[in-house]
């Protein structure tokens, strides 16, 4: 119930942001369209190097990295409300792959009085558990809805090269709606060692007591939660003929929410092979955010052609 309320709160914020942006741009856009202000119709495509930013790793984890790639393509339009500013809205389809790997987790579970004693005695002990080679893979197919503000400089022509160009930058948000999101998690090995505090002695070979080294497990699952991202893009806008425009730019995406959060379980849930048989995504950080840095290409057709933005 707690996770449901938290997810509902996040979705409410996402919807609120989108409604505010759409409301803000709808009035000036409608007025400008009536005056036949320039509108760019575009097709776009891009690719990125993606990774997960961990806000805080847990102290029991050792080593680790995350990496992957992302790509998207789609169509959009930009309605200009002045010579330098316009609102950009689009719809696209994308994919990204992320692979996160942690070398090992080591955590201690103290023996409790009501827990079964090892070897049939009442000697207190601490159970040291190590999960080795935790591997987490994500593949996501999604619809993306960018809502952005675009700024551009006045175009300048070069007599030497015969080209006309301007510089632009865009910022706003993207809503990624998963069409299919699959994940796979795996642990290569589980090791249990018992330390008897009063005896100052270790035990680690008695597999009949759950001690020693054991083969890990893998599991596949799916996620349906949406993701909201902050996005920034900048580059060069090239003008060809009257109607044709070509954008070449670089962009940065930063996730504002973690759609995997409610699906994760504490690492100390897995202290035995039996518990590892129901392996899920491990919560090995407090918060995580998807990041992406990539290149974007956009081919645009302006209408009407005689009303180029930034041109008197």
Residue 211 lies in a domain: yes
Neighbours of 44 (CB within 10 A): 20
Report phi then psi at 162, rounded to 5.
75, 25
Residue 53 vs residue 177, higher pLDDT: 177
pLDDT tens, residue by residue, 12-25 = 555 555 555 545 54
Q: Among 15-19, 140-144, 153-157, where is mean pLDDT lowest? A: 15-19
Kindly tell me if the per-residue pLDDT of 3 is higher than 50. Answer: no
For 120: left if phi > 0, alpha if psi spans -120 to 50, otherwise beta; the answer is: left
Residue 312 lies in a domain: no
Kindly tell me if the per-residue pLDDT of 89 is higher than 90. Answer: yes
Residue 6 lies in a domain: yes
pLDDT tens, residue by residue, 190-237 = 999 888 877 778 877 787 777 889 998 999 988 888 999 999 999 999
How many structural domains are present in the chain?
1
Residue 87 lies in a domain: yes
Residue 58 vs residue 166, higher pLDDT: 166
Q: How confident is the model at residue 4 (pLDDT cuts 50, 70, 90)?
A: very low
Residue 161 lies in a domain: yes
- Quote the CA–CA distance of 60 and 267 in Å, as a whole number: 9
Q: Among 172-176, 268-272, 282-286, where is mean pLDDT lowest? A: 282-286
Q: What is the pTM of this model?
A: 0.75
- The residue segments making up the domain with residue 221 are 2-303
């Amino acid at each position: 119930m707690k996770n449901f309320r938290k997810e509902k709160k996040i979705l409410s914020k996402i919807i609120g942001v989108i409604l505010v942006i759409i409301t803000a741009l709808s009035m000036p856009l409608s007025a400008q369209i009536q005056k036949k202000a320039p509108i760019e119709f575009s097709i776009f495509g891009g690719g990125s190097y993606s990774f997960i930013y961990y806000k805080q790793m847990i102290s029991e984890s050792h080593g680790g990295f995350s990496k992957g790639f992302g790509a998207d393509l789609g169509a959009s339009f930009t309605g200009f409300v002045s010579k330098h500013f316009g609102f950009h809205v689009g719809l696209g389809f994308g994919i990204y792959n992320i692979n996160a790997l942690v070398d090992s987790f080591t955590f201690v579970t103290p023996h409790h009085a009501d827990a079964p004693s090892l070897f049939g005695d009442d000697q207190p002990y601490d159970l040291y558990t190590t999960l080795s080679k935790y591997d987490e893979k994500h593949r996501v197919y999604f619809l993306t809805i960018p809502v952005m503000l675009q700024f551009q400089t006045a175009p300048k022509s070069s007599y030497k090269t015969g080209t006309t160009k301007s510089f632009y930058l865009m910022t706003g948000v993207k809503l990624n709606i998963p069409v299919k999101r699959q994940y796979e998690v795996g642990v290569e090995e589980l090791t249990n060692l018992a330390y008897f505090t009063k005896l100052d002695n270790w035990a680690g070979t008695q597999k009949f007591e759950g001690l020693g080294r054991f083969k890990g497990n893998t599991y596949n699952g799916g996620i349906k939660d949406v993701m909201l991202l902050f996005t920034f893009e900048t580059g060069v806008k090239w003008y060809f003929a009257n109607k044709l425009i070509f954008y070449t730019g670089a962009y940065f995406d930063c996730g504002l929410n973690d759609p995997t959060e409610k699906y994760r379980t504490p690492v100390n849930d897995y202290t035995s092979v039996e518990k590892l048989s129901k392996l899920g995504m491990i919560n090995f950080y407090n918060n995580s955010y998807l990041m992406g840095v990539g290149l974007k290409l956009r081919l645009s057709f302006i209408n009407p052609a005689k009303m180029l933005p930034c041109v008197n």
